[in-house]
Amino acid sequence: MFQSESPDDGNAMRFEEFAASRLPAVLRFAGVLTGDRALAEDVVQEVLIRASRRWDQIACLDRPELYVRKMVVNEYLSWRRRSWRLLPKGTAADVDDRLAPDHADRHADRDALLAELGKLPRRQRAVLILRYYEGFSDSEIAELLGCTPGTVRGYASRALAALRVEMSPRMLAISEEGHK
Amino acid sequence: MRTEDDLRDALATLERHAPAAVAVLPAALRGRRGHGLRAPQAIRLLAGITTAAALAGVVTALTLPGATGSHLPNGRVATAPAQAASSLRAKLLAAFSAASGQIVYEDSTTTVSTTGTPMTTQKWYYPWQASPGQQVRSRQLILGGDGTPVQDVEDIYTMPAPGSIPAGLPPAVQRKLPVTQQAAGVVAAIGEIIDVEYGTRTWSDQKDHLLLDNDPASPQVVMFDIENEHWAVVGTTELDGHEALELAWTDADSSSYLWVDASTYLPLREQDTFWSGPAGQVVTTTSSTSYELLAPTAANLALLTPPIPAGFRQTATQVLPYGGPGLG
């Protein structure tokens, strides 16, 4: 998925081109992944700084935008490790509030679903978002997360059960076959 | 029991947590003058938000201190006496004011040292200095390294009153807006965006869309930069057959030159260099921009609208290049 192109083929995407054409989608992905704009902002900013510094290598990959998404996921998964001292003190309810949507114009069950999503372990949440928001196959998610497709299916299965989401027959079949 | 579609619908609502591009831009693409801000060019590039004439902010910000003996980064010495500089500044501001109803056209090429490949943008903004309540139209066309279009976007909106903040603006941008308004004339407004995406061969016409633009000729910008920044007069030179005044502006991480026509006092060209990053990993960004003021004739106003190539598919919103369920 991330294999390199020849650096001499002249087709490598420049960082400015990436920024112009791909960044909005990455920003939306980060917003969905984190459920928290401030966190998404921090995560993407950190990723872009690092990506811009070695863009000449990233640009040679077959799909640089996918690699940037991988960086976003990894940054999100590791964020708490590096920044926990900066998190405001509070109860679990406070954290849930940060992840909860505006209630004024949202459907109640969707609000509840999102609140429960906010309680999932980050890896489970990431798997669901990569699968159901980004539309990645389990194999692609496995490559992004650095695990096996079986592990991805395990995360997904537990997360869906926690959210009381019934897997469609098609997805169930795909899951059982171990493919997309 | 919930369905997978319920989950997909719920996840889509989380897009509202997407940060503004202006808030995440790395320093290498940050624009002018520091201030810890994301620059107008960066805003335009990264947010799918279009455009304005960065030029006007630069030029109307002009202060011309008594530059005698000031050493410039290129080794030259500024020579303009203080009285001449003061007079010149007044002439520049008068010339810009007289041209406030024109279309300003920018043709800009930017190169980042890490990639070495230039990126070209063409921009049209009308009217150059819009008043509150006046309709603004601005278009930005981004060209790829081979000169083919990448993205072509027009913003149409009513210039809001100074300091107004529309509902729905992300908190991060809300926090920074007062500062960016002051330093770079950034305006938040609700308007229409016509977006043509060449990568996906799609286009959209989005009404009532939140957008950011900049009004670089605002009095706030003028006052802020007069108080905080200083152009210095280098001297005169010939540029493309015009006798031009050469001005310079330098600070810790940037160096800029601006040439204005010596007879009309209108801008001709600007050359900027920015440095960013830690020692040993410094990224240099150079940008060269030429300026042209166009009369608002029917033919020139037509330049503000992006052409939609035959065969492009209309979408409701900007397409997510790799985001849909069809991936993989």
DSSP codes, B153-205 = EEEEEEPPPTT---TT--HHHHHHHHHHHHHH-EEEEEEEEEEEETTTTEEEE
Of A19, A29, A163, the CB nearest to B7: A163
Contact between residue B28 and residue B285 where contact means Cβ atoms under 8 Å apart: yes
Of B6, B14, B326, the CB nearest to A165: B6
Q: Tell which wins on pLDDT, B50 or B227.
A: B227
- d(CA B139, nearest CA chain A) in Å: 15
Task: Reply yes or no on whether the pLDDT at A100 is more than 60.
Answer: no
Averaged pLDDT, B70-81? 38
Percent with pLDDT over 90 in chain B: 12
Tell if the CB–CB gap between B4 and A32 is shorter than 8 Å: no
- d(CA A113, nearest CA chain B) in Å: 7
Averaged pLDDT, B56-74? 33
- d(CA B152, nearest CA chain A) in Å: 11
Averaged pLDDT, B180-195? 70
Tell if the CB–CB gap between A15 and B28 is shorter than 8 Å: yes
Q: Tell which wins on pLDDT, B123 or B34.
A: B123
Q: Return the pLDDT at B285.
A: 75
Q: Does A115 reach chain B within 8 Å, measured CB to CB?
A: no
User: What is the rounded distance in angstroms from the CA atom of residue B218 to the CA atom of residue A165?
Assistant: 53
Contact between residue B198 and residue B179 where contact means Cβ atoms under 8 Å apart: no
Of B11, B119, B320, the CB nearest to A25: B320
Angle between helices A23-34 and A64-83 (to 10 degrees): 40
Chain B residues touching residue A109 (CB < 8 angstroms):
2, 6
Q: Does A94 reach chain B within 8 Å, measured CB to CB?
A: no
Angle between helices A64-83 and A37-53 (to 10 degrees): 120
Of A17, A28, A136, the CB nearest to B150: A17
| ipTM of predicted complex | 0.71
pLDDT band at B136 (very low <50, low <70, confident <90, very high): very high
Highest mean pLDDT among A142-156, B66-80, B252-266, B290-304: B290-304
Chain A residues touching residue B3 (CB < 8 angstroms):
165-166, 168
Q: Return the pLDDT at B52.
A: 28
Chain B residues touching residue A75 (CB < 8 angstroms):
none
Q: Return the pLDDT at B2.
A: 80
B239, two tokens: 């540029």
Rg (CA), chain B: 21
Chain A residues touching residue B281 (CB < 8 angstroms):
53
